[in-house]
Structure 1
């Protein structure tokens, strides 16, 4: 499968399903930025249920900007808040201590652009899970891509995806299983088995062969 997909902040499981099950991955970096999407939003499982983490950006709808030109609003201590939320949610998960050191540079280095942060998130996740995947960046925008399965719709927060196979989550006993959270939820809870889990799943009628 040859796919086209957006880079997002710590991709959700649907995003990562597409990445892990693809033969060739093209990362869309040539489009205009749009609000209300997963480009700067990550959903995790906190003590009170689903919790949204956002990277603040400096953007106005009046003046369209390319995704690659949208800056992070670093006036806010978002990296510290992000890290504290992850620690609160997952410090008791089986594989938190195993992976958190790999993630720490993402919260210690200053990133000026949201696209750069998202691309680095993907690189770190692929490396941590020892996945031999090398995505290619687009060099131009195609409204209707040729010879690629278009998964760019997954970046929209209102995109409906089927519920995935349950796995054990830290707060399952309190709130039940929550599907399609950030892949960090799967990684912290399932560790090296995350890749096998993703390969067992199906998405919107698309089955891994």
Structure 2
């Protein structure tokens, strides 16, 4: 299966299931930026349940702005807040310390553009997962594809379908139960080297 998909902030499990089971992956690089999508947000499992991590961005005065042109609003100390949230949520997880050093620099080095930062995070995560992808980047926007399965709708954070993925043990399971389709970070910190096997064993399709 050849797919086209959006690069997002620490993509959720649905994104990674699609990519781990694809023959080739094309990243959408020429679309417009929309609010309330996974382009600048990820969800983790905090002590009080599902917790959103949002990257603040500088909104253009124009009606439309390309995703690749969106700048991060670094006046907010968002990187430090996100890292503290991850520490609070996952420092007792089985594999947090195993990956901590590989991830921490992402929350100290400043980034100007959202898309560039997301791609940087993606590279680190695929290294942690030991996931090799045949990856390309689109050069122009196409509304439809005849040669690729279009997983771009996964970018929308609202009204998500309930994916039939297997459950795995999460840090706060006993408090709030299983929370599905969180950021890949949740799977990585809880399953460690088994995370890739988990992703490859799941199935996903878009209605």
Which category of TM-score, normalised to the shorter sequence, fits these structures?
Answer: over 0.9
5+ long unaligned stretches in structure 1 = none
1:50-69 correspondence runs (5 A): 50-60=50-60, 62-69=62-69
Call closer, same or farther: CA 1:46–1:4 in 2, change over 3 Å: same
1:131: Cα distance to partner? 1.4
TM-score, length basis structure 1? 0.95
1:10-159 correspondence runs (5 A): 10-60=10-60, 62-158=62-158, 159=160
RMSD of the alignment, in Å? 1.4
Cα distance in 1 for residues equivalent to 2:164 and 2:2 = 24
Cα distance in 1 for residues equivalent to 2:2 and 2:205 = 17
Secondary structure in structure 2 of the residue aligned to 1:50: strand
Q: Does 1:197 align with 2:191?
A: no
Cα distance in 2 for residues equivalent to 1:115 and 1:205 = 24
8 Å Cα contact 1:163/1:180 also seen in 2: no
1:146: Cα distance to partner? 2.6
Matched residue pairs, number?
206
**Structure 1: which 4+ aligned runs deviate by more than 6 Å?**
none
Cα distance in 1 for residues equivalent to 2:57 and 2:79 = 13
1:62: Cα distance to partner? 4.6
Alignment match, 1:166: 167
TM-score, length basis structure 2? 0.96
Structure 1, 4-13 or 123-132: larger mean CA deviation: 123-132
Cα distance in 1 for residues equivalent to 2:61 and 2:37 = 13
8 Å Cα contact 1:161/1:203 also seen in 2: no
Alignment match, 1:182: 183
